[in-house]
Amino acid sequence: MRTNLSVEEALEVVLEAAQGKLPVEELPLKEAFGRVLAEDLASLVNHPDQDDTAIDGYACRAEDTLGASLERPVRLKVIGESPAGRPFPGEVGRGEAVALYTGAPIPKGADAVVRVEDTRREGDEVLLFAPASSKDIRPKGDDLRRGEVYLRRGDLLTPGRLGLAAAMGHPRLRVFRRPRVGVLSTGDEVVEPGEPLPYGGVYNSNAYSLMGLVLEAGGKPVLLGKVPDEPEAVLAKLEEAGPLDLLLTSGGVSMGEYDVVRKVLERHGEVVFWKVRQQPGGPLLFARLGGLPVLGLPGNPVSSMVTFFLYGRPFLFRLLGRTDPPYGRMRARALTPFKGAKGKKVFRRGVLSVAEGTVRSTGNQSSGVLRSMAFGNALVVLPPDQDASEGEEVEVIPLTFVP
Ligand code: AMP
Ligand code: MG
């Protein structure tokens, strides 16, 4: 077992374990939002499928309209109209025009369009007060070309990409099955909300904050409830958990007599590392139980969230083969001082303003104060042995991804 790893070393070990191949499933578009593509997607169509108009106006021959102006309008004969989806079947000859609406194909014979705002209709004729031009014609394939790959394996299906897949003509998408992530809380003192809180008890918040983080990272949380600090109970729960791609436990990985998670994993699995030189989250443990990777998160609510974000989220991204990074980094000016720690990389919680490029402390930075994660939107990263004073530039990891 390795111990006292740096954050970078620990992350490398965790990522190395994200090797398994997730099965692929095929979903209709309406169920594919937020999933990760398992195939490259080429367009089945050209878009537009032919030259079409980006404006409402009149299609005609540019040479007929040269020099058209308010003083010297050009008069054309209107031989038909064509809304989007109803192409004009004929051909536009000299001195003729067809009324077109946005998205309609440019009729045969025409090579230019004049905006409706620059015209006046008079019965079956139209007066043009400006020359027609081709600048508002969208050439065939301007947006999408048939056969070209626009979305790739590993791309997260964001709203824009889901729309793009539909525009390319795909009704169903092959995506990776969401990784199943077990969430197990440990601790004699941990009680489900809704039950009366005994003296010395604490409500199980970790299960729900972790559930949210797992969902946000593209995983499928499997809530395993809570077990007391008894090795048999922990083991029994792990055995009944069913197939998982990752197991998260919270609590029970510190030094104490009652820290059973570590003991059970030492005895029945293989502890790969224990303790990382960071704060919060120093007692983090990473193990294997059979083939199952286990992240033993410390029980303190802030520690469990921060360690999942720093290690669990990248693990899931790697497993899913995602092309986007698990989190971004930026620099911001500290509006408040931030305190570092001796020999440890520190992740303070901050309120980041991307617009202002500033970050301030959420206040009480104790790892038991969950409000810092509820109202903070960023981690302020301090290298070992370094404080940051007010006005200084600091490294920041936004908790919602800022590309
Ligand atoms: P541990 O890591 O087990 O030593 O727990 C550290 C602190 O986190 C203790 O104060 C626990 O009561 C608290 N804690 C542990 N598990 C949870 C949980 N599921 N929800 C909220 N607090 C917890
Ligand atoms: Mg405990």
Q: What is the pLDDT of residue 7?
A: 98
Burial class (CB in 10 A: 0-12, 13-18, 19+), 52: buried
pLDDT at 239 over 90: no
Cα(299) to centroid of ligand 1, in Å? Answer: 4
pLDDT at 192 over 50: yes
Q: What is the pLDDT of residue 19?
A: 87
Residue whose CA is closest, atom 5 of ligand 1? 299
- Regarding the beta carbon of 298 and ligand 1, being less than 6 Å apart is answered yes
- Regarding the beta carbon of 254 and ligand 1, being less than 6 Å apart is answered yes
CB-CB contact of 37 with 90 (8 Å): no
Query: What pLDDT, in 10s, does the model give residues 266-282?
Result: 999 999 999 999 999 99
Residue from 250, 303, 305 to probe ligand 1 pocket by mutation (most atoms less than 8 Å from CB): 250
Q: What percent of the chain has pLDDT over 90?
A: 94
Please give all residues whose CB falls under 5 A of ion ligand 2, grouped by chain where several chains appear: 187, 251-252, 299
Q: What percent of the chain has pLDDT over 70?
A: 99
Query: What pLDDT, in 10s, does the model give residues 319-373?
Result: 999 999 999 999 999 999 999 999 999 999 999 999 999 999 999 999 999 999 9
Quote the longest CA-to-CA distance of the chain: 95
- Regarding the beta carbon of 367 and ligand 1, being less than 6 Å apart is answered no
Average pLDDT over residues 41-65: 97
- Regarding the beta carbon of 204 and ligand 1, being less than 6 Å apart is answered yes
Confidence label for 54 from pLDDT (cuts 50, 70 and 90)? very high
Q: What is the pLDDT of residue 403?
A: 46
Average pLDDT over residues 301-326: 97
Residue whose CA is closest, atom 15 of ligand 1? 299
- Regarding the beta carbon of 202 and ligand 1, being less than 6 Å apart is answered yes
Q: What is the pLDDT of residue 241?
A: 83
pLDDT at 258 over 90: no
For 378, the token pair is: 């960023």
Cα(273) to centroid of ligand 1, in Å? Answer: 20
Query: What pLDDT, in 10s, does the model give residues 90-117?
Result: 999 999 999 999 999 999 999 999 999 9
CB-CB contact of 368 with 359 (8 Å): no
pLDDT at 178 over 70: yes
Q: What is the pLDDT of residue 402?
A: 53
- Regarding the beta carbon of 205 and ligand 1, being less than 6 Å apart is answered yes
* Nearest in space to 248 (alpha carbons), one of 153, 156, 179: 179
Top-confidence residue, 312 or 257: 312
pLDDT at 188 over 90: yes
Cα(99) to centroid of ligand 2, in Å? Answer: 75
- Regarding the beta carbon of 281 and ligand 1, being less than 6 Å apart is answered no
Cα(62) to centroid of ligand 2, in Å? Answer: 79
Where residue 242 falls (left for φ over 0; alpha for ψ -120 to 50; beta otherwise) is: left
**Helix/strand/coil (H, E, C) string of the chain?**
CEEEECHHHHHHHHHHCCCCCCCEEEEEHHHCCCCEECCCEECCCCECCCCEECCCEEEECHHHCCCCCCCCCEEEEEEEEECCCCCCCCECCCCEEEEECCCCECCECCCEEEEHHHEEEECCEEEECCCCECCCEECCCCCECCCCEEECCCCECCHHHHHHHHHCCCCEEEEECCCEEEEEEECCCEECECECCCCCCEECCHHHHHHHHHHHCCCEEEEEEEECCCHHHHHHHHHCCCCCCEEEEECCCCCCCCCHHHHHHHHHCEEEEEEECEECCCCCEEEEECCEEEEEECCCHHHHHHHHHHHHHHHHHHHHCCCCCCCCCEEEEECCCECCECCEEEEEEEEEECCCCEEEECCCCCCCCCHHHHHCCEEEEECCCCCECCCCEEEEEECCCCC
Confidence label for 400 from pLDDT (cuts 50, 70 and 90)? confident
Residue whose CA is closest, atom 23 of ligand 1? 299
**Position of tokens 């045969």?**
108
The average confidence (pLDDT) of the chain is 96
Q: Which ligand is nearest to the CA of 201?
A: 1
CA 322/CA 111 separation, integer angstroms: 45
pLDDT at 401 over 70: no
Upper half-sphere CA count for residue 368 (Cβ side, 13 Å): 2
pLDDT at 20 over 80: no
Cα(250) to centroid of ligand 1, in Å? Answer: 7
